[in-house]
Each structure stands twice: as structure tokens, then as C-alpha cells.
Amino acid sequence: MSISGRLTGARARAPLHAGLFETWLRRGRTASSYSASSEPSKVRALIYGNHGDPAKVIQLKNLELTAVEGSDVHVRMLAAPVNPSDINMIQGNYGLLPKLPAVGGNEGIGQVVAVGSSVSRLKPGDWVIPASAGLGTWRTEAVFSEEALIGIPKDIPLQSAATLGVNPCTAYRMLVDFEQLQPGDSVIQNASNSGVGQAVIQIASALRLKTINVVRDRPDIQKLTDRLKNLGADYVLTEEELRIPETKTIFKDVPLPRLALNCVGGKSSTELLRHLAPGGTMVTYGGMAKQPVTASVSLLIFKDLRLRGFWLSQWKKNHSSDEFKELILTLCDLIRQGQLTAPACSEVPLQDYQQALEASVKPFVSSKQILTM
Amino acid sequence: MSISGRLTGARARAPLHAGLFETWLRRGRTASSYSASSEPSKVRALIYGNHGDPAKVIQLKNLELTAVEGSDVHVRMLAAPVNPSDINMIQGNYGLLPKLPAVGGNEGIGQVVAVGSSVSRLKPGDWVIPASAGLGTWRTEAVFSEEALIGIPKDIPLQSAATLGVNPCTAYRMLVDFEQLQPGDSVIQNASNSGVGQAVIQIASALRLKTINVVRDRPDIQKLTDRLKNLGADYVLTEEELRIPETKTIFKDVPLPRLALNCVGGKSSTELLRHLAPGGTMVTYGGMAKQPVTASVSLLIFKDLRLRGFWLSQWKKNHSSDEFKELILTLCDLIRQGQLTAPACSEVPLQDYQQALEASVKPFVSSKQILTM
């Protein structure tokens, strides 16, 4: 999220991880030290100087690159998605906020152009993704520090690589870290058509877990249902269908879910809790409804339900970069085996970012917006 | 909670634990098999035939005792408290409900009068408490099964023994089982003047944990504050004081609590969550405000707060009676060392139960009602 162009006085380095990111912010770099060039340049970046509506605050600007020295890595970005968390960060509604101005985007796939003399793990031609949130991926090129990047295999599709580091990682960790699920166990989730939701369906299917997938009703619901079932969804229900008593017949065929994944909050999460098995856990990773999670006292006490949250940035803080790399390689295996595909994507050239930003906040847009550079 | 008097056709046995309790209920004993004698008898019991307002549905009736055979233990009850969970059970708002009619009360101290030929662990004169909820302790005498009872040391005060098996057990398990707290760590709780709350203050103090104790404001607040501080409370605050920014100065002297204990729900629990350390746990064990627990999505995701519930009956289901006995002996050690005293008690003779039931549902009654037989 830092601007690795030429800055007045000092070169800024992309943050390595959230902890360093905060340190970097505390150094007191001021907005006036930002000096994006207004002359034409090959480096273009989507920059915001204030928090607010992304369509209003994001601007395409030119930046100059710094020289590549020491542990520097010159990266040409290939593609970068627009994720809900990118939007939240620009709006100022996120757990980690950059010093402004900042380059938007936290995820994407880049290719190494050149490396500094002390870089050991990467070489020109390698594919890289950000090690942490806050790198600022919506730009054509950048000079990052080696530690800010993770090399990934080049034998997976570009769209999978561009969308690998956030949503599938979140889905995998939530499926594995909270409940010890066995093949045949079930998982219930809402927002099942989101990037995370689609990854949950596929990874759960690979782990032989049954999924009960809740979506908002919409005109083309059958098309969506078919698409999610093609990904491996066992059940697809609308929020309204989840509330009717007949839904319980599902649990003649599958065990009550011990894990619920909540990206919505409000009433939707109340319904997920209602269907959890005793002792089960609901993990909240998003709040699309902008309403809190509410649990009756009796569900907590007598049904022993557990409410947790998941944030990939926190997981990365608590784990080594080797553990993150191992996670990435596990997901790449699933991709190669055809068990994990990228969500339906709409590729949008960087200069048409307005179109991508608008589409990303529209309801019922089933394709992920991917900026191409 | 069963009625161990003489029943038509078959003798009823007090349930051993919640699992057996349910089995016992499933045997299909009907209300008509209940035959409390209306003739004068030495055995008197507080019985309810319907769920509802305790003051209206509870009646003092006479029962006859069954003969003492096999694994039977004839117990004379000495004292039995009126706990909030007893009231909830009578009202029908509890996770475990007895077949009706039933004897009220889930806790108390009794003395063994006689034992059947196959009883090995208990002898006449021993003190006993119920092994599980559902025994029906509000009576003068009963014949229970040996497995339904736990023998306890006789060298602790009677009021401590009568109030040992529910509230101090709940307090101890909540302090120990959810977060690995070290001396100097802090705990925040609401309803700090409740039976559990007072036990939390004392056990936490014995474990060298700091307590931040929230109570409802009341006319004699200084008296209450002094009393709780005498028990070992480090800070005593009203719900209103907890909301003002000045409260944060407490956390210059003590670390942010990693554990919150919630007996209230609603706004009070929202305030507890607001003061928890990142990654901390709030354990709900009661819902006095009759409002659900609400957590913002961002507290769950970005602050990694964890919401759990605790129910001693469930803990007992998941643990052996030896483990429960070990817990009881640990608490008896604290009692002997003067580190755990019974809450302020008002002893009320069994026949004056109406007075005890009324006092137990009045707000701001600071003493525990104990029925004496």
C-alpha cells in the first residue's frame, strides 16, 4: 500500500507485513512527501489521497520507479483483483489502514523484472504475490523488498494466481483451523457466491466435506445454483429458504454442521447459528449486511456455540512466511488437480478502473473484477 | 428433580447425571404416577406441577420415603440454596427441564442417615451434595442412588457446603478453562455481586488475578463496593461508570482483561467486549437482562474476540465424577484457607419458602436465600 515510486527525501519501501507496516507508518512520513509525477511515465498506479467512495477518491496517476538495489525486486504487475477488503480499506472501514496517499489493492500476480544484488530467493521471470496486505497492487510496476513477496509456481492459470493469496487462503484456514472436521462432516456458509464462498465450496469438496450454501435470492437464482453445484456445492439455498422448517430435512442426509462461515452478519448469521450442531463454531470473516452478530444467551450456554472471527492478516502475523508459502503450495496443488478454479472473472484494463470499481460494489455481480496491466 | 417418595407401581430413582436424567424421563413415567401423600409425614418437599412463576407454582407437600436397598442412600437434607438456575428451571427457561411434577432445587448439603447393602463410598453421618443438576434438593429427606451423590469433607462451614456445588464450581472452571491466565492478568465481569460473581472475585484473588467488577448502580453502592473489595475485588464499577472514558485509566495499572465473564447479556456484555484485550474471550453463563449478546463484526475479525458459553451441567457431562470430586476438593482447600467464603446468606425455614422465593427474584437483594430443613 506504500507508494514505491520516487519519494522526496527518502525512498519508501513496501511494508513486509502488518507489523512492519505499522512501524513504517509511525515513521511519520507525511502526505507532502508524496511526489507522484504528473509527467507521462510507464508506471501507472491507482492512488487515493483520502478515504471515501472508491469511485470518487481513486485516481490513475503516474509514478517513477526507484533504482533496484540490495534486496529490491522490480516487479511488473500482470493482474490484480478488486476484493471487498480493498474497497473497505479505501473507504476507511478496515482493521489496517495505510498512510495516505496510498496505492490501492492488496492482492495480485506480478512477474520479476530485475533483482538487487542481495536477493537470493527470486530471479527475473519468477511469478510473485504479496506476502501481506498493504502492498498496493493496482499499478503497472513497482520496486518492492524481497521479503514483501512470495514466489509461486508458474504452472497455474494467471487468474488463479491473481486471486490466490486472499480468498482461497481465507477459505482454507477457516475450514481447517477452527473445527477438526472429518470427511462426511458438513459446513454451512452464507455469501456463498463470494470469492471466499466459491473457494470454500471447492476446498470443502476436495476435503470431502458437505457444504450447505446460502445465497441472496435473485432473478437468475437457478443459474447461480447450477454454477455453485458445478463447483461442488451439495446444497444451495436462499436466505429465505433457510428460514422455513422444511430445510431441516437436509439434516436427514447430512450431519448438522459443526462449522458455519459468516460473511454477512445480522439476521443471516442468526440463521447460521440456529442450524449449527451443539458445540459448533461460527467464524465471521465479513460483515456485508453492516449489522452485528447476535447470539441468544441460551445458544451460548446450553448449546455451547462458539463465535470466532478470522482475518488473514492476523493469521499471517501469527505464522511464519514459510507457513504462508506452504499454504500457497497446498492451494496450487488443488488448482493443478482441477479442484480449485478462479472465480468467474471480468478482466478490465487498468485505465478502465472506474468500471471495475463500480461493478465490484454492485449487488449480484457474480464475476470478480480483475485489473490487467 | 425426581420425586423419590413412594410412587404408584414403581420406585423412582433420582437421576445420576443429565444423560441418565434424560433416559429416566424417556421411560415414560407419567404425572399420574406421582402420589405425594396428603397425610402428615416427616418428609416435606417443595413441589411444582407446572412451569411458571415459582411463587405461584411451588407448593409444600408431604412425601413418603421408599425403603433403603442396594445402592440406595437415605439422606437428610440440611440446607439448600435458591439459585437463579433453580428459578429458571421452574419457569421453564433452562437447558434441562424435569418431568413434572418435580421437587425444586438443584443444590444443597445433606447428611447420610442410612445406606443400602451395596453402597461402598458413603456411610451414615457423611455429608453429601448432588453430583448433578436435577436432583430436587428442596425437601427434608430423600432416598437417592449412591451415584447421584458426592461425599464432601465435614470441616467446612455448612453455608459453604450448601453453596459449593454450583456457583464456585462455575466460577473456578470459567477462570481456568478458557484462557491460560497468569498471576497479574486481569478478568472483567458483570453481575459481580451474584453467587458466581462473589466466587469469581475470591478465586481470582487466590489465583493472584486482578478483577474488574461491574455491578448495577443502587442506593447503597458504597456498601456493596466495600463488601466486594473486602472479598478481594480490585476494582468495582457501576455499569454507567464502565461506559465513561475515564475508566480506561484502570488499564494503566492492570493489563487489559483477556477474560470477560458475562451473566447479563445486552448492553452490559457489549461493554465487557469493548474492554477485552485482542484475542480475549467472553464467557456467557447467564442472561439476566433477557437480551442477546451482540458483537460487532469488526471486534470479531480485527480484534479476534471469542464468544463462548459455560454451563456446569455440560461440563459435568464431559467430565468424570472423579474430576468433579477433584474440583470440589480444590474448592474445599480454598474454603479452609479462608480464601473462599459463602455469599452473604439469609437462612429461611423450608415452610417459609414463599419468603425465600420472593426475595430471590427481587433486584438488589444482596444475600443468597438458603432453605433450612
Tens digit of each residue's pLDDT (9 = 90 or more) over A308-330 = 999 999 999 999 999 999 999 99
**Cell 507457513 -> residue:** A323
On whether the CB atoms of residues B38 and B5 are closer than 8 A, the answer is no
Tens digit of each residue's pLDDT (9 = 90 or more) over A203-218 = 999 999 999 999 999 9
Q: What are phi and psi of A105, to 5 degrees?
A: 90, 135
What is the structure's pLDDT at A28?
30
**Cell 472471527 -> residue:** A309
Q: Per-residue pLDDT for B183 more than 90?
A: yes
Q: Per-residue pLDDT for A16 more than 80?
A: no
On whether the CB atoms of residues B43 and B143 are closer than 8 A, the answer is no
CB spacing of B298 vs A314 below 8 angstroms: no
CB spacing of B307 vs A302 below 8 angstroms: no
What is the structure's pLDDT at A247?
87
Give B117's pLDDT tier (boundaries 50, 70, 90): very high
Q: Per-residue pLDDT for B194 more than 50?
A: yes
Nearest to A316 by CA among A150, A199, A192: A150
Weakest-pLDDT range from A162-171, A259-268, B10-19, B218-227: B10-19
What is the structure's pLDDT at A344?
87
Q: Per-residue pLDDT for B297 more than 50?
A: yes
Cα gap A309→B301, rounded to integer Å: 4
Cβ contacts (< 8 Å) between B303 and chain A: which residues? Answer: 309
Determine which one of B48, B94, B172, B353 is catalytic.
B94
Stated as kind and residue range, the H or E segment containing B128 is strand B127-130
On whether the CB atoms of residues A208 and A186 are closer than 8 A, the answer is no
Q: Per-residue pLDDT for B40 more than 60?
A: no
Cα gap A144→A16, rounded to integer Å: 9
Structure letter (DSSP) for residue A5 = B
Cα gap B292→A300, rounded to integer Å: 10
Nearest to B48 by CA among B107, B109, B97: B97
Return the half-sphere exposure (C-beta side, CA atoms, 13 A cut-off) of residue A350. 25
In chain B, the DSSP E strands lie at: 43-48, 58-63, 72-81, 102-103, 109-115, 127-130, 141-145, 149-152, 186-189, 210-215, 235-238, 259-262, 281-284, 293-295, 306-309, 345-349, 368-372
What is the structure's pLDDT at A332?
98
| CA B59 to chain CA mean position, Å | 22
Q: Per-residue pLDDT for A33 more than 80?
A: no
Written as nine digits, the cell of B25 is 424421563
Tens digit of each residue's pLDDT (9 = 90 or more) over A82-110 = 999 999 999 999 988 999 999 999 999 99
CB spacing of B301 vs A286 below 8 angstroms: yes
* Partner residue opposite A285 with nearest CB, options B286, B301, B308: B301
* Partner residue opposite B302 with nearest CB, options A95, A303, A307: A95
Cβ contacts (< 8 Å) between A292 and chain B: which residues? Answer: 294-297
Tens digit of each residue's pLDDT (9 = 90 or more) over B66-108 = 999 999 999 999 999 999 999 999 999 998 899 999 999 999 9
Q: Per-residue pLDDT for A140 more than 80?
A: yes
Cα gap A63→A57, rounded to integer Å: 17
| CA A272 to chain CA mean position, Å | 22
Mean pLDDT to the nearest integer, B99-125: 97
Return the half-sphere exposure (C-beta side, CA atoms, 13 A cut-off) of residue A85. 28
What is the structure's pLDDT at A95?
87
- B220, amino acid identity: D
Return the half-sphere exposure (C-beta side, CA atoms, 13 A cut-off) of residue B263. 22
Cα gap A42→A74, rounded to integer Å: 13
Tens digit of each residue's pLDDT (9 = 90 or more) over B328-370 = 999 999 999 999 999 989 999 999 999 999 998 887 776 899 9
Give B128's pLDDT tier (boundaries 50, 70, 90): very high
CB spacing of A295 vs B293 below 8 angstroms: yes
Cα gap A21→A8, rounded to integer Å: 19
B244 Cβ under 8 Å from any chain A Cβ: no
Nearest residue of A to residue B178, measured between CA atoms? A306
Weakest-pLDDT range from A105-109, A145-149, B6-10, B324-328: B6-10
What is the structure's pLDDT at B35?
37
| CA A140 to chain CA mean position, Å | 20
Give A241's pLDDT tier (boundaries 50, 70, 90): very high
Cα gap A70→A88, rounded to integer Å: 34
First-last CA distance in chain A: 17
Cα gap B355→B363, rounded to integer Å: 14
B94 is known as an active-site residue = yes
* Partner residue opposite B301 with nearest CB, options A294, A299, A310: A310
Q: Note the helical H segments in chain A.
A: 18-26, 54-57, 84-91, 158-162, 167-177, 195-206, 221-231, 239-243, 250-253, 266-275, 297-301, 312-318, 321-336, 353-361
What is the structure's pLDDT at B364?
74
Written as nine digits, the cell of A228 is 455453485
More confident residue, A155 or B248: A155
Tens digit of each residue's pLDDT (9 = 90 or more) over B141-161 = 999 999 999 999 999 999 999
Q: Per-residue pLDDT for A23 more than 60?
A: no
What is the structure's pLDDT at B22?
32
A298 Cβ under 8 Å from any chain B Cβ: yes
Determine which one of A48, A94, A285, A353 is catalytic.
A94
Q: What does pTM read for this prediction?
A: 0.87
On whether the CB atoms of residues B341 and B160 are closer than 8 A, the answer is yes
Cβ contacts (< 8 Å) between A296 and chain B: which residues? Answer: 287, 292-293
Mean pLDDT to the nearest integer, B41-59: 93
Q: What are phi and psi of B152, to 5 degrees?
A: -130, 160
A299 Cβ under 8 Å from any chain B Cβ: yes
What is the structure's pLDDT at A204?
98
Nearest residue of B to residue A310, measured between CA atoms? B301
Mean pLDDT to the nearest integer, B7-27: 32
Instruction: Tell me what the pLDDT averaged over chain B comes to.
Output: 89
B302 Cβ under 8 Å from any chain A Cβ: yes
Cα gap A226→A247, rounded to integer Å: 19
- A284, amino acid identity: T
A284 Cβ under 8 Å from any chain B Cβ: yes
On whether the CB atoms of residues A15 and A1 are closer than 8 A, the answer is yes
On whether the CB atoms of residues B271 and B256 are closer than 8 A, the answer is no
What is the structure's pLDDT at A30?
30
Cis peptide preceding B101, ω within 30 of 0: yes
What is the structure's pLDDT at A32?
30
Q: Is the dihedral of CA B126, B131, B133, B135 positive or negative?
A: negative
What is the structure's pLDDT at B17?
32
On whether the CB atoms of residues B94 and B140 are closer than 8 A, the answer is no
CB spacing of B297 vs A287 below 8 angstroms: yes
Instruction: Tell me what the pLDDT averaged over chain A comes to.
Output: 89
Q: Per-residue pLDDT for A18 more than 90?
A: no
CB spacing of A309 vs B292 below 8 angstroms: no
Written as nine digits, the cell of A146 is 524481497
What is the structure's pLDDT at B248?
86
Residues in chain B: 373
**A-B interface: how many C-beta pairs under 8 angstroms?**
98
What is the structure's pLDDT at A9?
29
Tens digit of each residue's pLDDT (9 = 90 or more) over B259-281 = 999 999 999 999 999 999 999 99
Specify which residues A212 forms β-bridges with. Answer: A188, A235
A100 Cβ under 8 Å from any chain B Cβ: no
Specify which residues A44 forms β-bridges with. Answer: A62
On whether the CB atoms of residues A72 and A103 are closer than 8 A, the answer is no
CB spacing of B95 vs A305 below 8 angstroms: no
Count of C-beta atoms within a 10 Å radius of residue A318: 10
Probe site for chain A from B281, B291, B300 (most A CB atoms < 10 A): B300
What is the structure's pLDDT at A14?
39
